[in-house]
Structure 1
């Protein structure tokens, strides 16, 4: 079998990239070596212009050239020149790397936010406490006078049920009933589940 010669006798003449790509599509390693030598620098240049990082550019350029070896049979000369096809592969791969790096950074940022323990916010705590107090006062105003007095004595002054009954001059059972009814109304008003 006759071996194809891909580089002309004149070393200054550029190789025919379409012919080399056809050889690569057939699995010709010498054609790939010649194609590699011809396009490695422009591929690196395109990748470098997108990534701006030397190490990543070298890595992606190598990935592109491996992709050229694997996908050479898919090249269609009627759709464009061989160099444009290869440089399009390079540009796409570089853009994919940028997107991948950005997505990884976004994932790390979200994870860091989830791991971050919020600092104690004294002002927020004060505002929330004030709002809760105002809501309790508003709900206390919805109680009957006897319920409000019973709840206030028992829960704000710390009196026992018996002491509340003595302070209001009411039977103990009446105070317990008023407290229970008042607490149920407060619970409903505050939206607290039972």
Structure 2
């Protein structure tokens, strides 16, 4: 008697779309380590990574009917969901931090000692701004999008319509040039 081949991930998603919990469990066991690994690389915080991973699987459960095997592999579809969720989490965390910072600054009453810190911070910000101006326009654009815009290297590459490797090189070379200009070891 010939053993049945295990269902493909595409087949599992089709079954999940019909509400098959057993298929969802099999799919989860197969892909959870890769999903968590991707999320962990983007989010970095282990607890938040676990939370985002759970959200990814909730989306898979709820959106399985949207998967179209003619457009790509199941794993690619799942990893796209995971990456988007992870980037959303990072952006939301940064927005929350920025909001808290703005509120803290609003409520903050400067004392005499804080004036020196403020002046020093503004001086450092100006030094960084000047160092950024010393870069090529392509390096400035890539670094600004990545560090100030919050975009991933892939998203910067898509926005600028250049290969990801080119973006990484521009950012790396620009950061080295800025480090040298600022005299940072």
TM range (shorter): 0.5 to 0.7
- Matched-pair contact (CA < 8 Å) for 1:15–1:38: no
- Matched-pair contact (CA < 8 Å) for 1:47–1:57: yes
1:120 Cα shift? 5.5
Using structure 1 for the length normalisation, give the TM-score. 0.55
Using structure 2 for the length normalisation, give the TM-score. 0.57
1:92 alignment partner in structure 2 = 84
Aligned mate of 1:30, from 11, 22, 26: 22
Task: Give the match's secondary structure for 1:66.
Answer: helix
- CA RMSD after TM alignment: 2.1
1:118 Cα shift? 2.4
Q: Residues 170-189 of structure 1: matches in 2 within 5 Å?
A: none
Task: Note if 1:44 corresponds to 2:36.
Answer: yes
1:17 alignment partner in structure 2 = 9
Q: Residues 1-194 of structure 1: matches in 2 within 5 Å?
A: 9=3, 15-119=7-111
Provide structure 1 residue ranges, at least 5 long, that are not aligned to the other structure.
Answer: 1-7, 122-194
Provide structure 2 residue ranges, at least 5 long, that are not aligned to the other structure.
Answer: 114-185
In 2, the alpha carbon distance for the partners of 1:14 and 1:100 equals: 39
Task: Extract structure 1 runs of 4+ deviating beyond 6 A.
Answer: none
The alignment covers a number of residue pairs equal to: 113
1:14 Cα shift? 6.4
> Greater RCO between the two (CA within 8 Å, min separation 6)?
2
In 1, the alpha carbon distance for the partners of 2:9 and 2:3 equals: 16
In 2, the alpha carbon distance for the partners of 1:9 and 1:59 equals: 37
Deviations 1:28-67 (A, max 9, x none): 1111111111111111011011011111111110110111
Task: Give the match's secondary structure for 1:110.
Answer: helix
1:119 Cα shift? 2.6
In 2, the alpha carbon distance for the partners of 1:14 and 1:87 equals: 21
